[in-house]
A and B are shown apart, each in its own frame.
Chain A
Amino acid sequence: MPDRRCKRIFAMLSEYVDGDLPVKNCRELELHLKGCAPCIAYLESLKNTVEACRRYQVPKVRRPSKKVREALRSALR
């Protein structure tokens, strides 16, 4: 990412991925991406990072303790 424009684009990438970037900035970013292979590649890898986070799951959990179940059941009575 060699120049100042890349640096400016770099700061906008997450908002672009989330669809939160204002239209004016969106146009600027998309215009830049047409001629900047490293920024395109970085954007793709950032999207993949977000996708990896979304797909990440922790292993199955044990059943809730008796204490927790009783507290919730008692609250519902």
Chain B
Amino acid sequence: MNRQIEAALNTLKSGNPEEIERAIETLQGVVYGFGMKFCGSREDAEDTAQETLIRLARQLRDFPSARGLAVWLYKVAKTQCLMSRRKSKFAPAQMLSLDELMPKDSVLSAEGVKSWQFTPEQVVLNNELRSLLESAVLSLPKPYRMVLILRDMEQLDTREVANVMGISEETVKMRLHRARVYVRNALGGDFTKTWKGRRQPGGAKRRSLAAAEGEARHA
């Protein structure tokens, strides 16, 4: 988990008046960022941040550890996002099948992959990749999107994601893999020109959650 969050929560709990303002801004940034990634709307992200931080104020003294409080913070932010007024433009309601996400008849050249490798100096994504990534993430079905954002963007560990989502660690891993493959295929559509016969993620066949997760257990 992002150490900034724990540090900010520790500052609030310790009540050091000189650092409180900065800690509040840090937490606002974290929850707003999470809301933007999940909802894709500034208004929803602002509502999420405001509601979550006001609830945090009521809970601040009830948690012995900042880490426990941080997980609770994501739980509340998650619920706020799921209740958001503005629905994502592309979000499908159904679930993803790993079979359908797997590339078929593909020829993936090393050159195609190299074109979007990162160097250590490249801290910020370029605009094209950033825009493709946002569209891909927002087009993920919500249960997969939430896991991907918590695990790969917010960098919670598997146990913490399971705790926030109220699901098992195995289910977190299964959803995470599908979400990553979905996003990778969406990016690959533009970045790996030589990959033939691929299917766009939005066109992939979707199955019920139970069928998709049953399939993972037998994989």
A interface residues, Cβ below 8 angstroms from B: 1-2, 7-8, 10-11, 13-15, 18, 20, 37-38, 41-42, 44-46, 48-58, 60-65, 67-69, 71-76
Contact = CB atoms under 8 A, between A and B. Distances in A.
B153 A53 contact: yes
B57 A72 contact: yes
B181 interface: yes
Given A44-B113, A55-B125, 20 more contacts: A1-B104, A11-B98, A37-B108, A38-B106, A41-B113, A44-B117, A46-B180, A48-B117, A50-B180, A55-B118, A56-B134, A58-B32, A58-B37, A60-B29, A64-B50, A68-B24, A68-B28, A71-B57, A72-B53, A76-B60
A1 B102 contact: yes
Given A52-B129, A57-B124, A68-B50, A11 B33 contact: no
Interface residues of B, number: 65
Chain A binding surface SS class: helix
Interface of B: 12, 15, 20-21, 24-25, 28-29, 32-33, 36-37, 45-46, 49-50, 53-54, 56-58, 60-61, 98, 102-110, 112-113, 116-118, 122-125, 129-130, 133-134, 137, 148, 152-153, 155, 158, 173, 176-177, 180-181, 183-184, 187-188, 191-192, 216, 219
B132 to A, nearest CB: 9
A46 B108 CA distance: 12
A27 B139 CA distance: 35
Nearest to A13: B177
A50 B181 CA distance: 10
Interface of chain B, main secondary structure: helix
Contacts of A13: 177, 181
